[in-house]
Structure 1
Amino acid sequence: MSQYEKYFEDTLSSHRTAFYLRDESPDSKKLMINLFNYMRNRGWMIDIDPYYLEHYKLLAKDNFLGIKGDLKFVAEKYRMGFKIEFFQEVNFKNRNGGKYDFDKLKLMPYLIRCSFLVELNHIKSFCATEGYEDRSEPPVKRKAFDNVMKKIKSCCHYKEGKELPEYDGLPKYNCTDKDGKQIRNGDVKYFRDNKGRLQRGTVYHNINNMWWIILHEYKYTNIAAFKLFDLDTAENRIRKYVEPSGHHNPKSRIIPPVEQYESWRKEVKKGGVIQRVELANSFLDYLYRIDWITHKYEFFIKDNGRLGMVELENKVWGGHKVFEKPQQIKLYSRRLPMSSTESSWIVALRNYVTSGKASLSSWFCKDSNGNGRTSHKWPEVREKAWKMAALAI
C-alpha cells in the first residue's frame, strides 16, 4: 500500500467530535492498540464497550468505550481503519445521553471542550508520527451561503446549475411547499422550529424533498419541503403555533376497564366474520379519511368463502384517482403491492377478520410517537381499534 493511502482526519470543520483513520493494511489494528496504550498512559480508562457485551457479543471485540473524567469516547474498529467519537454527559439534550446528541461539540461545557481538543491533538500527533497523513480540514468559520453551496456541489447527485433559481430539473413532489406552491432556489420561505416559532430564510435544494435554509450570515438548517410556506394565510402568520399532537389529547391517557373491553370483544364475536369485515372496512375508511393511508381498500367475502380485497380509490403523490371498476388485490401474496406501513395495517386486519383475535400493534398509540400533522388522531384510532376488539389492552 502506498503512503498516500494511509491517512486520518477530524471533523472539527463541521463542528463534530469524530476522528477517522483509514488504512487497509493490518497495521491499523496494531496502531489502534498502541494508541489506546498511549491514551491509558495519559489517564484514560479504555475497555470493551459494555453495551455491545450485553446486546451484540459478536461485535464487542471491535467496539470500545473510553473515560477520562467527564470526557468520554466510543471507538469502532473497521476493516479499513477505525473511528473514535468523543462525547460528554454533563450537558446534553437527548434523553438517552450525550452519546446520541447531534451537536456534541456545541453542547460541551468549556473545560470539557478544551480537554477534548487537547486529547484530539495528542491522537493526531501520535498517528502522524506513525507515518499517517493528516487530511483534516481547518476549522474555518465559513459563511452560511458558502457552506450550503459547498454541500450542494459536493453531493453525488449534483448537476450543473442545480443551485440556480431557473433550474427546473426537480420533480414536482420535491419542490412543493405546505400549501402546494412551487419552491425555487433563492426563494424566501417561512417555517416553524421545534417549538412552533416562526422562522424564515433563503432556500436552496438539497436532496429529495429536503431544502437548505440560510437563516443568517453564519447559520443554516435543513427542512423538508412540506414544512415551508408563505405568509399568505392567517394561520401561517401566527408567530407561535403548536400543532395538535397525541401528547395533547386527553384520550391518550385513557384505558378502558377490562370488563368494558370484554363486553366489546363478546359483542364482536357474536357477529362473526361478516361483522368483522364491516368493522375492518369502516376502520380502513377512517384511516383513509385522516390520510394515514393513501389507498382506500375494502375486504369482502368471495364465493368460495375466502377473504378478498379490492382497491376503490387512492391519493398517491397528491392526486386523487377513483376506479370505475374496483381493482383486485392479491391479499395472500408474499409481498403486498403497497408501502410497508399500509401492508402492516392490511395484514393485521386480515388476520383479525379471519381469526377474530386482536392482531393490531400498539406502537402507533404510544405518547412517545405523538408528533406529526395527524398524530392527534392516534387516541381516536386506538379507541376505534379497542371497540372492534382488534387491539388488546
Structure 2
Amino acid sequence: MTSRSFRILGTSLLVSAQSGRERNNRGWQEEDWETFNRLMHALEAAGFTFGEDPNVAKHYPMLNKKHRIGSRPTPAGTLFVAAEVYPTGCKFEFYQELVVVNTNGGRYDFDKRQKMPYLIGKAFEVAIRRATAHLVERGFTSSQKVETPNPDPLAYFNDRWNFPSDVARGVHRFKRDESGWPAPEVIALECWGVTASRPLIPHGAVRYFRDRFGRLARGRCYGGINGMWMVIYGPGPWDCTHLHRTELLDEMPTRRKRRAIPLRTAISRLTSLRDRAIKSEDFEAAIRYRNALRRIQPSEQVAA
C-alpha cells in the first residue's frame, strides 16, 4: 500500500489513494472505490446529493461509473462538486454557477473560490472541513503546499527548502536560530554572497531595490540561502520577489541632482529652437520657446 495523503488546490480536494490491487495482468491498479465512496458519504452528511455527470454519461458512457456530480442548495444558490476516481486516487472539485466568466460554466473558471457568493463560499468551507476530517480519521496525511509567503513567510520558506526526509524526521534543513530562520553562521558563508561590503541582512529587515521597471521599492527580507533573499513588499499573496544580495540596498539612494545648465547656454538653445520653429512655421512651438526665454531673461531682450 502506497502512502495515502491529500491536499487542497484552489477549490479542489486531491486525494492520493491506491487500492494495492491489480486490475489485470498488465499491472494497472484497481481504483480505491472505498475511499471514493466514503468521501461521497461524508459529503452527503454535509447536505450533498450525488448523481451521474450528464456530460460524461452522454459523451463517454464507459467512464460514467467513475464520475459523479454532487449538489448542495444554499440560500444564495447551489454549490456543486465534480467527483472523479482514477487508479492513483480521486478528486473532488467544488464550483458554483452564479458568478461565471467562462462560457462553458463555473466549473471551468479561474479563481473559483473568489467568485463564490458569501453563503456558497461558507458551504464550501464546511464541505472541505468534513471531507478532510474524514480522511484524517482514516489515517490520511496532509501534503498541503504553502502557496504564498503571506502571511507566514517562514512556513513558505520551510515548505520550499525542507526535504521530505526532513519533514518525516520532524527537523529543518539548515541550522536555525531562535526565530526559526537559518542561523547567521549558515548564511554568512562567503560563497553565499555575504561579504564585508555586503553585510548579513537580519531576517525581517527592510531593504530597498529596483523593480523590473526601474522603480524604487522596499520590502522585508528573509532567507539568504545562496545569497538570494525572499523580499515581501506588500500584503497580497504574490507581493514577493527573490533578489540577490547585490540587488538589495541598505539605504534609500539619494536622488541625483541635475547639472545646472549655464544661463548663456540655455538662452542660446532656446533662441535656436525658437528660430527653427518660426522658419518651419510651427508657431505654437515658437510661442512656447519665446515664453521660456522670457522666464530666464529680461523681456526687452526677447524678440517679439
Asked if these proteins are the same fold (TM beyond 0.5), I'd say no
The TM-score, its normalising length taken from structure 2, stands at: 0.44
State the TM-score, normalized to the length of structure 1.
0.36
Task: Select the structure of larger CA radius of gyration.
Answer: 2
